[in-house]
Chain A
Amino acid sequence: MAVGSRVLEAAGLVRPGRLARIREWWEQEHVFGYGLILPALLLIVCLVAYPFAMAIYFSLSDYWVGSPGKFTGLQNFRDILGNEIFQRTVYNSFVFTSIAVAFKTVLGIWLAMLLFRSFRFKRLIRGAVLLPWVIPTALSTLAWVWMFDSLYSVVNWTAIRLGIMSPPGPNWLGMPNYAMTAVIAVNVWRGLPFFAIIVLAGLVSIPREYYEAAAVDGAGSWGRFRHVTLPLLKPVLAVVILFSTIFTFADFNIVRVLTRGGPVNTTHLFATLAYQVGLDGGNLGQGAAISLFLFPMLAAIVFLQLRYIRKE
C-alpha cells in the first residue's frame, strides 16, 4: 500500500526507484479506480455513445445504404410524421406496450403469489415457469407462428374443442386486430416469467410478522394483499414495470418473426419499421429517424428510475 512504502522509505529501507514511484501512483484509490473502469468506459463511448451520435446525424441526412448523403435538416422527420404507416406504428407501440405491460403486471403478481405457496416439486415448477424467458425468443416465436397458422392453428383447434370458439376460428396473423392480439399474447407469454420471478423475490423479503399482525387485526386475504403485500411490493413493482416498459416498447424479435409487421404494415413497432425502412428498403436516414422515436420513452424511463433511486 502507498502508506506502507512511504513508511519504509522514511526508515531508509527502500530507495524510491522509478518503478516504485509508478507503483505508488497506481496504488492510489482514484487512479486504480479509473484504471479499472477504463476498458468499460472505452467500450461504452465507442459502441454506444458514438453510434447514438451517428444515429442522430443519419436522421438529419438523406443517407442511403452505400451512399453517404448530405445534410437535409428535419426532412426525414417531416416525411415520416406524414406517413400513414408511421402513424399506425406510433399507435401500435402505445397499445402494444400498455396492454402487454398491464397483463404482465397483473398475471405476474398473481403467478408470484402462487409460486410463493409451499408446493411439492417447487423447483421444478419454477423451472418450468421461467423457461419461456430463457429460450431464444426468435425460436419460440417461430413455434407461435406455427401455432397461429392460418390452416392448422392449434390455438383455434383447442379453442373449438373446448367450445370457446366457433369453427373455423380467426386467421390470427392475417387480420390486423387479431395479429396485434397475437403479438401481445406472445410478448406476455415471454415476459411473464421475468415479472413473476422478481415479484416473488419481493414477496420473500416481506416479513411474515406483518401478515400475522394484519390477521390479528381481522384482515381477510384480500385485506392482507391490499394493505400489506401491495404497499411493500411497490418498490420492486416500480422497477420491474419501468424495465419492462422500455424493453416492450423497443421490442423487435416477436413482431419481426411473428408478423413481419404485417398484415399490410398494421402491426409494426418502431424497431421493426426502422428495420424495414432502413435495411430492407435501404433508406438509413429515415430508418434512423424512426428508431430515434424510441429515445423519448427511454429518457422518460431513465428519468423516473434515477429519481426513484435517489429517493431510496
Chain B
Amino acid sequence: MDVGVRSRGARIRSAAFGYANVIPFICFALFPFYYMVITSLKNDAELYDLKAVPFLIQTGVITDHYRYLLAKTEFLAGYSLARLRFRGVNAFGTAVFITYLVPPTLLFLPLSQVVVWLGISDTIWALIVTYPTFLVPFSTWLLMGYFRTIPKEVEECALVDGASRMQTLIRVVLPMAVPGVVCAALFGFTLTWNEFTYALTFISQSANKTAVVGVTADLIRGDIYYWGSLMAGAILASLPIVVIYVFFLDYYVSGLTAGAVKG
C-alpha cells in the first residue's frame, strides 16, 4: 500500500518494517517442522522409521481409487451445475454447498455402522466408500467456480457445428478446464492423505491403516513416546504432500481462494 513518491530512506524503513513483521510469522509457521526434523535426527530413530512405509502404500492406493472413480463424478456435476439450466439446478447447487460445510465429525458414528453393515470395516474399502462424503462436495464446488470462468461461446460453437453435448464436454470443455481439474485433483489428494477422523474410526488393524493414523496411533506404544522415531515417521508420512506442494504451490493458493470465495 505504498502511495506516492517517497524518499529512499522511507522505502528502506518500510521494507525493514515489512521483514521485521513477517519474520515472526515465518518462524511461528516453520518452527514445529524444524523441531520435527531436529528430533528425528537425534536418537532412536533408526528403529521405527521404516514401519511407516506400508502405511504410505496404503494411502497411495486410496488416493488412486479417488482419481479414477470420483474425479469424473465431480467434473460432470460441476459442469452441469455451473452451465446448464434446468429445474432444481439452484437447489442442488445449494445442497452441494451445504454438504461441503457438513463436518465429518457429524457423520462418523453412523458411518462406522454403515461400513460394518457393508462388511467392509477394517479394510481400505471403508475409506474408499466414505471419503466421497467430503471430497465430492468440495471438488464439485471448486469446479463449479472454475467452469463459470470459461467463456460459454466456445461450447456453443461446437454444439452449432453438430457435436453432441457429451462430445462438446469431452473435446472442448475438458481441455479448457485442465487447470481446474488439476486443482481439484490436488486438493482431493491432499484431503485424502491428511484425513484423520474416518481413518482412525473405521480401521483398527495396523496393516490397513493410512500413513497419518499409522504414525499417530501405532508408533505410540503405551506411555513411552519414542520421539525420535515418531518424528521420523511424521516426516516420512508428510513427505509426499510436501513434494507435491512445492511443485504446485500456485494451484494450492488459487484452489484455496476459489473454493472458499466463489461462494
Q: Is the CB of A1 within 8 A of B109?
A: no
Contacting chain A: which of B43-51, B60-68, B87-95, B174-182? B87-95
Size class of the B contact interface (CB-based, 8 Å): 35 or more
Are A252 and B190 neighbours in the complex by a CB distance under 8 Å?
no
- Kindly report which residue of chain A lies nearest to residue B25, judged by CB atoms: A111
**Closest beta carbon of chain B to A76's beta carbon, Å:** 12
Those of A70-117 within 8 Å (CB) of chain B: 110-111, 113-117
At the interface, yes or no: A257 with Cβ under 8 Å from chain B?
yes
- Closest chain B residue, CB of each to CB of A154: B35
Q: Check: A232 CB closer than 8 A to any chain B CB.
A: no
Q: Does A32 contact B (CB under 8 A)?
A: yes
Tell me what chain A mostly uses at the interface: helix, strand, loop, or mixed: helix
Q: Are A51 and B105 in contact (CB under 8 A)?
A: no
Chain B, residues 109-147, CB within 8 Å of chain A (1/0): the string is 111111000000000000001101100110010000000
A298–B81 contact, CB under 8 A?
A: no
Partner of B101, one of A23, A58, A256, A302: A302
Candidates A37, A52, A145; contact of B106 at CB < 8 Å: A52
With CB as the reference atom, state the residue of chain A lying closest to B190: A134
Residue pair A302, B73 in contact (C-beta under 8 Å): no
Stretch at the interface among A9-17, A162-170, A175-183, A267-275: A267-275
Number of A-B contacts (CB under 8 A): 285
Binary interface encoding of chain B residues 228-248 relative to chain A, with 1 for a CB under 8 A from any of its CBs, else 0: 001100100110011001100
A151 to chain B, nearest CB (A): 11
* CA–CA, A139 and B26, complex, Å: 19
Whether B80 lies near A292 (C-beta < 8 A) is no
Q: Is the CB of B3 within 8 A of A33?
A: no
- CB-CB under 8 A from B246, the residues of chain A are 127
Contact A211 B137 (CB under 8 A): no
Task: Kindly list the 7 A-B residue pairs having the minimum CB-CB distance in the complex, ordered from nearest.
Answer: A250-B103, A30-B86, A271-B105, A36-B80, A40-B77, A54-B110, A33-B84
13 contacts between A and B (CB under 8 A): A39-B77, A40-B140, A41-B92, A127-B245, A131-B242, A139-B238, A215-B3, A251-B105, A275-B201, A284-B113, A287-B109, A292-B106, A295-B106
5 more A-B contacts (CB under 8 A) besides A129-B25, A251-B105?
A: A47-B130, A55-B106, A194-B256, A211-B3, A274-B109
> Which residues of B are at the interface with A, using a C-beta cutoff of 8 A?
1-4, 14-15, 18-19, 21-22, 25-26, 28-30, 32-33, 35-36, 39, 72-74, 76-77, 79-81, 84-87, 89, 92, 94-99, 101-114, 129-130, 132-133, 136-137, 140, 159-160, 162, 164-166, 190, 193-194, 196-197, 200-201, 211-213, 215-216, 225, 227, 230-231, 234, 237-238, 241-242, 245-246, 249, 252-253, 256-257, 260-261, 263
What residues make up the interface of A, taking CB atoms closer than 8 Å to B? 1, 4, 23, 26-27, 29-30, 32-37, 39-41, 43-44, 47-48, 50-52, 54-55, 58, 110-111, 113-117, 119, 123, 125-140, 142-147, 154, 189, 192-194, 197-198, 201-202, 211-212, 215, 221, 224, 229, 236, 239-240, 243, 246-247, 249-253, 256-257, 270-271, 274-275, 278-279, 284, 287-288, 291-292, 294-295, 298, 301-302, 305-306, 309
